[in-house]
Amino acid sequence: MAQRRYGTIVKHLTDDPDTAGELAAKLSDDVLFHLSAALADEQRRRAIVDGNEEAVITDAFETSFGRDGLGINPYISGSFIVCPGSIIAKSRNSHRCRFASINDTWVWDSDLLINEVKRSNAGTKEGFRAVALLPIIQGTEIDIVTGRMRSGQHSVEHVISYEVKRGKLVEVSQRNVKPSGMA
């Protein structure tokens, strides 16, 4: 197989990033799909290679949980999006929790998940804390869902939505969720 040369394409994209839009417009849907998957795979690979997962996770366990024990909002640390999550249980049928949903999938089931570490809560409160790491990929949608379980019934109380735009994590909405039947 002949050696492929990408110099001209790379130079155009490097010199004028708007060229990427022009290139994308000329590609078929099938090629565009494969290109976006290849770009996401490369961003994930670079996050893993360039990032120090262990140091980011260690720092997150020390700094990413509020006084109430719930995880704080997601943030960018180095080459990762850090998503802290937790459950603070009072009993088997009563707890508060906060977790991330990535592109409408819970973080622990997300294809983007690079690493997740869970640790049991210290002290008298049952439950756990978790830190999940994701790559920084344009368009990734993150919902931070705060909920509560009472008498075995789980309900969502608050959702904060973020999106990755140009390498930054941008808040796009917040909403309180009223329990059904409440005015």
Per-residue pLDDT reduced to its tens digit, 41-98: 888 888 888 778 999 999 999 999 998 889 999 999 999 999 999 999 888 788 999 9
Query: Tokens standing for 137?
Result: 């990929």
Mean predicted lDDT score pLDDT of the chain: 87
Distance CA(67)–CA(41), nearest Å, equals 36
* Higher pLDDT, residue 21 or 107: 107
**How many residues make up the chain in this entry?**
183
Tally Cβ neighbours within 10 Å of residue 52: 13
Q: Provide the total of helices (H) and of strands (E) in the chain, helices listed first.
A: 4, 9
pLDDT on residue 34: 85
Q: How far apart are CA 104 and CA 40, in angstroms?
A: 17
Mean pLDDT of 157-170: 94
Place 31 in a pLDDT band, splitting at 50, 70 and 90: confident
Distance CA 27, CA 154 (A): 46
Q: At what angle do helices 19-26 and 7-15 cross, to 10 degrees?
A: 130
pTM of the predicted protein model: 0.80
- What pLDDT digit, counting tens, does each position of 40-54 carry? 888 888 888 877 899
Q: Is the pLDDT of residue 128 over 70?
A: yes
